[in-house]
Each structure stands twice: as C-alpha cells, then as structure tokens.
Amino acid sequence: MIRIRTRGLGLALALAPVIAHAQARTVDWPYNGGGPDANRHSTLAQITPENVKRLQVAWTYDTRDAFQGSEMQANPIVIDGMLYATSPKVRVFALDAATGRELWSFDPSGGVAPARRFRHRGVTVYGDQLLFTYRNWLWALNRRTGRPILTFGDSGKVDLRQGLGRPPETLGVGASSPGVVFEDLYILGTNMSESLPSAPGDIRAYDIHTGALRWTFHTIPHPGEYGYETWSPDSWKINGGANAWSGVTIDRKNALLFAATGSAAFDFYGSNRIGDNLFANTILALDARTGKRVWHWQGIKHDLWDLDFPAAPTLVTVERKGKPVDAIAQVTKTGHIWVLDRLTGESLFPVREFKVPASKLEGEQAAATQRLPVLPKPLVRQTLTERDLTTRTPKAHAEALRVFRQYPNRGLFNPPSQAGTIVFPGYDGGAEWGGPAFDPETGLLYVNTNEMAWLLKMIPRDDKSLYKNNCASCHREDLKGTPGQIPSLVGIGDRRTKADLAGVIRNGYGRMPAFGGALEGGAIDDLVNFLITGKDANDRPGNNPYWMKYRNDGYTIFQDSGFYPAISPPWGSLTAVDLNTGAFKWRIPFGEYPQLAARGMKNTGTDNYGGPVVTTSGLLFIAATSWDNNIRAFDKRNGKLLWEATLPFAGAATPSLYMVDGRQYLVIACGGGKNDAPSGGVFVAFALPTP
C-alpha cells in the first residue's frame, strides 16, 4: 500500500485512486516495505519497462559513518518530500528526498565510535513522531527537527531490557527491524543472543505517546499460559530467543498483528528446552489491541538448525474456487512458502508431515516429526549429494569432496552431532530477511533466495576452559571468529581496554549475550585476562545456570579454498511464484561474482540480502547481491533483465520508490559488509532525466 499526498486536488481524489495517481505530485513510501501489509508493491508508473534503461543517478548521500565490517540495511521512509533512514552506526537523519541534502541528524551514541557492526533496518514514522532503536533503547524524535520528544519514556527513550521478567542488567536486547503503529500503540519484536544466556523474545506494545508498556506476549510461555507444556518447566526463566527479530506486520482492517519468530536459544542443543517449543519458529496472529493469541502455526518443532522465520509475514489476497481469500505468505530459510488463511491460520495448500532422524547427543530429544507445505515447491535444493558439489576447478571439487565425506549428517532436519552435520539449506536461507514482494494485480510473489551450506560440529564442554565453554561457539577456539559474521578476538587487547572488554562481556553487545547473569565477576575478569594474556582459567559450571553439555564449533560456510561456495550453482536465485496455484511463473540465477564472470563462469548467482519491490508498471527492482554491487530491474512477467547499474557498495537492503514534485525516484542503501564484502555507507537515488 502506498499513501498518496496531493496538493490542492480536493477530497474527490481519495475516491478516485486511478485519477489520483495520474495527477499526484507527491507519493510517499511511508512504511518499512512500502505499506503496513509489507508487500513491497508500488503503484507508481512513471518508470516503465520501456524507459527504465534511461534511469540515471539523481543524487547520492554519503553517511560518512562506514567502518570495517559495518553494514547498512535500512529501507528509507519518505513522507512529504523528506527521507528518513539510519547510517551504519545508527545515526538517524532526514534528507530532502529530491536532492539528498541533509536536513537534520541525530546520533544516539553521543558521538562514540562504534565497537562492532549494527544490523539496522530503518525507522517508523507516525505523524510528527519518528521512532527507532539503538542498542537497548527505543527512541522517539520529532521527525521535523530530529530532537528527542522529552515526554516519551525517560527524556525521549525507553529501555527495552525492562519488563522482561529478568534482571535488566543481565540482558542484551535490541531491535534490528522497525516496529509498526496501530491506533495508539507501537508494536515490535526484538533481537537478542542466539547463545545462552539470552533474553526472552517477548513481542511488546508501547503507548505511542508516553512510551509506557501496554501489553506483552510471551513467546516462551509462562506457567499456566498456552504452550507452557511444550518446554522444559524452567524454560521461561532460562531460555531465550523465540523472537520476532525480522519485524511484525499489521492488518488494520481486522486489528490483527502478525509475527514470525525465530529459534530458541541455544540454537543447536536443546536439553534444557525439551518439547516442541511453542512459540519458537511460529507464525503468530495476535489481537493488535491486547496481544492475545488468535491463532498460531508452528513451522519447525524444537529447532536445532537456526532455521528462523527470516522475514515478517506478507499480507496477500489469493484466489480459491474463484473467490478472493485474504491470506498471509511466509517465506522460510528452508526455501518453502507457507500460505495461510489470514483469519484462521489454515494452510491454503496441502501439508505433509514426516518422520525425521533422532538426535544422538546425550540429553537431546529432537522432534520425531516435522511438516512442510506440498506447494509451492521448494525454492532451493533440499538435499546435498556428491553430485551437488562444485566443479569450478578440479582442485575445488576435490576439496569439497574431502570435506563433504567428513560430515556424515547432511541435508534438512539431520540433527547436529559430534561427527558433523552439513546444514543445508543453511543459516542464511533459502529466503532471507529482505522478504518477498507481492503483486496484487497478478497474484505473483517474488522471492530472492540463497543456496549456501554450513558446517556444524558439536563439541563436549568441560570444566578446563572458561573461554572455550562460553565464547568459542561463536569466536572459535583460535579466536578468529568467522569473517563477515562473527568478529575476530585476535589482538583484541590492543584495541580495547580491560574495562571495555569487561563491560561487553557483562552487558552484551548486538548478538552477543550479556554474561552478567551467568558468570560471577571473578569469571568475567578471568575472561578478560585470557583475551589479553592467553592464560585461560577453569570454568565453574556449577555456578552457571546456562552451562550445557555441548557447544557448536563456530559458524562456518562450506567454501572451497577460493572462498566460493563448495556446492554447484545456482548460489542465489530469483523466483516468481503464483500463489493462486503454487506454480513457478519463472526462476533465474540472481547475481554474479565478477572474477568468475570474467573467466566465463557467468549466471552463478550469489548470496543476497535485502528484498525486491514490484510495480504496477511491470517492473521488479532489486539490489541485494553481495559481490557484483548491482541494482537491477527485471520484467516482472518473465524475469528478463531490463536495466542494471553498479552501486558503490553492495545494496544489502530493500529499495524504496516515491515521487516528489512529479518526479519518481528509486533509492537504495549501499552498505555492503555482509560475509566480508567491502563496507560502505552511501545512499543512491535514481530517476529518469528531467525534460
């Protein structure tokens, strides 16, 4: 849905949308994803398949905030000719949407240099109010001046760690995706660590005017609440996650809030959360006014593979038996699409339930069955065999084959093990956080997907190493982390003070948990000493309520020695799916590695992050690809490439379409940084040449 603002054309335009679009001079992009239905659809038609090749850069804006490893994923909001977004360090700014000239800027850090990257997807605007999150704070600014609204919360901000039923100083909580406004409520999901300790992933509603907490939905049910029996008895006190980190979607007509949650912490071993774990990995419909559950649909039971629902639900209307049915479409990391009746949660396509392998890890009880939709068919491969390994070069194939044979568990729903599991589809999908675009005129859903395998081994914990038990599952035993995913700790003592390191360990930072509730002060000091001197200390599991028998060995993409995927292409795809029938309309490889293309290996696809936008005029715009830095326009009918332009950095974000003074613009955040791609902080806007 696009909100239209006209100048001097009268109330009649509200009753004549077609005429309004023909005569409107300013058309907003007022919500993340374009509209409250999150369908990333624009009715603007000045840019067409016939003239799109004439697009040129209209303006650029350099945030000047990029740093090594930073990312920038904001979907810009445009209202009344003003553009609002966030920079790599989460500085909020307003621009003249026609020129890119900065109008104001607000830095919630007070000018402090960032210690590590943020993943932040933009802001919410309501009237003259702008809301955004920075670390554990929800801020409210005057959108015209950029100044804090002092009557909101504590002088303009609310602490997201409060109200979760656990000591706030022990929690690491933030929000990468902006929330939504319904009536006088601001509703959002949050981010927290995927290891333990971790905060619970409660969905919460705040008073839009005062910042007061109005309702909470416990995604890890408390005693007496629906779903409590699907967890261990103390899970509501100890486990975390099950969070709607990718955002929420509002159906204003039916007063329903839709959320799709992630996995429960700890991601890969669930001995302290035995059961199916409602409402982790679940599509939820809540009463938007009260937060009460209306219906739910769990996609994965007792997740052990970090297979979060990666994007907020998309509101769609499909045809069944010749009649329109309001529904939601939910993309998944496994490459499936759930299409559910919006009012009842019933699947509109057949569902198959099947047995899956049991876990061999002591104390683990994997779910006995899982379920998936029969249609639409998967967007990515579901199994990995030797025939699927790379043939980029004989050496690369031999490397891939050697590693492949070292990991006996392969493919979807094979549980983690000490012997090793290849997680495929992987942690980054299938579908990703950018979400799909839906064309209400054709019933087509456009989804960009990844095909990357990940390597996982489970390591027994012991009491001989404080660092290995608490840190190595992310930062690895050699402290090198995972480039582009988890930062290296090698030489961290040369870059950070002891006090800084102790503060990060105690309070958490981004995806890192706050260990203040799990480790006593002496243990934190011992960890700091290890990071500086290399002298490890014994763990004391009896003093740590989050201590478990196993940990993972890090986050490792299955790559060859050239750092290309160790499986055969396509490594990224773009697909148009007919939601009325479940059939594919078209499917193409999406993205290229320039170095491989120069050697004749083209159309491989690449990993991609960010989403598409579809237009009434017949176009599908998308950037997203990590390595060729291109933004592209496709013919939405057949997937034919009509236009592309090279961006200064990868556009790992979703573009926005808007009109100011009769001129249509396409704007994209170019932040790069994902999976070790170069980092930047530039916004680029395109438009047709002026007459």
Which residues of the chain register pLDDT less than 50?
Answer: 1-22
Are residues 200 and 221 in contact, defined by beta-carbon separation less than 8 angstroms? no
Residues 566 and 403: their CA atoms lie apart, in Å, by 9
The CA distance from 193 to 659, in Å, is: 39
- Yes or no: say if 372 and 351 are a contact pair by the CB < 8 Å rule: yes
pLDDT tens-place string over residues 313-370: 999 999 999 999 999 999 999 999 999 999 999 999 999 999 999 999 999 999 999 9
| Both tokens assigned to 377 | 């068919």
642 close to 619: Cβ distance less than 8 angstroms? yes
Task: Say how many CA atoms lie within 13 Å of 588 toward its Cβ.
Answer: 16
Task: Name the residue among 279, 208, 199 with its Cα closest to residue 241.
Answer: 199
pLDDT at 266: 93
Contacts of 372 by beta carbon, 8 Å cutoff, 6+ apart: 334, 336, 351, 352, 354
The per-residue pLDDT for 521 is 62
Q: Which residue has the tokens 């549980």?
A: 415
Please give the Cα distance from 640 to 619 (Å, whole number).
10
CA distance 689 to 430: 37
Whether 429 and 606 have beta carbons less than 8 Å apart is answered as no
Residue 506: per-residue pLDDT: 73
Length of the chain: 691
Reduce the DSSP state of residue 31 to 3 states and report it.
coil
**Token digits of residue 680:** 């930047």
- CA-wise closest residue to 427 among 315, 317, 306, 257: 306
| Rounded Cα–Cα distance for residues 416 and 456 (Å) | 7
Q: Tokens representing 685?
A: 């806007």
For residue 474, the Cα-to-chain-centroid distance in whole angstroms is: 19
pLDDT of residue 297: 98
- Dist. CA 618–CA 612, nearest whole Å: 13
Q: How far apart are CA 388 and CA 521, in angstroms?
A: 49
Given the DSSP bridges, would you call strands 421-423 and 409-410 parallel, antiparallel or unpaired? parallel
Q: Which CATH architecture has domain 136-173+178-308?
A: Beta Barrel (2.40)
Q: Cis peptide leading into 178, omega within 30 of 0?
A: no
Buried b (16+ CB within 10 A) or exposed e, 481-498: bbebbbbebeebbeebee
Beta strands in 197-303 (DSSP E): 203-207, 213-217, 240-241, 248-251, 256-260, 264-265, 282-287, 293-298
Phi and psi angles of residue 546, each rounded to the nearest 5 degrees, phi first:
-100, 5
CB 490 within 8 A of CB 477: no
Name the E strands within 380-536.
409-410, 421-423, 437-439, 444-450, 454-456, 458-460
Cα separations (Å) of 56 from 38, 47, 639, 666?
27, 12, 22, 10
Buried b (16+ CB within 10 A) or exposed e, 561-593: ebebbbbbbbbbbbbbbbbbebeebbbbbbbbb
Strands laid side by side in the 409-410 sheet? 409-410, 421-423, 454-456, 556-557
DSSP helix/strand/coil, 346? coil
Given this structure, which CATH class describes domain 462-547? mainly alpha
Cis peptide before 570 (omega within 30 of 0): yes
C-beta separation of 98 from 663 below 8 A: yes
Contact between residue 656 and residue 34 where contact means Cβ atoms under 8 Å apart: yes
Q: Which residues contact 537 (CB under 8 A, 6 or more apart)?
A: 466, 523, 526, 527, 529, 530
How many other C-beta atoms are found inside a 10 Å radius of the C-beta of residue 154? 10
Instruction: Please write the tens of the pLDDT for every residue from 107-160.
Output: 999 998 887 789 999 999 999 999 999 999 999 999 999 999 999 999 999 999
In whole angstroms, give the CA distance from residue 646 to residue 180.
Answer: 33
Is the C-alpha dihedral spanning 675, 306, 405, 461 positive or negative? positive
Residue spans in the chain of domains classed CATH 2.40.128.630: 136-173+178-308
pLDDT of 36: 78
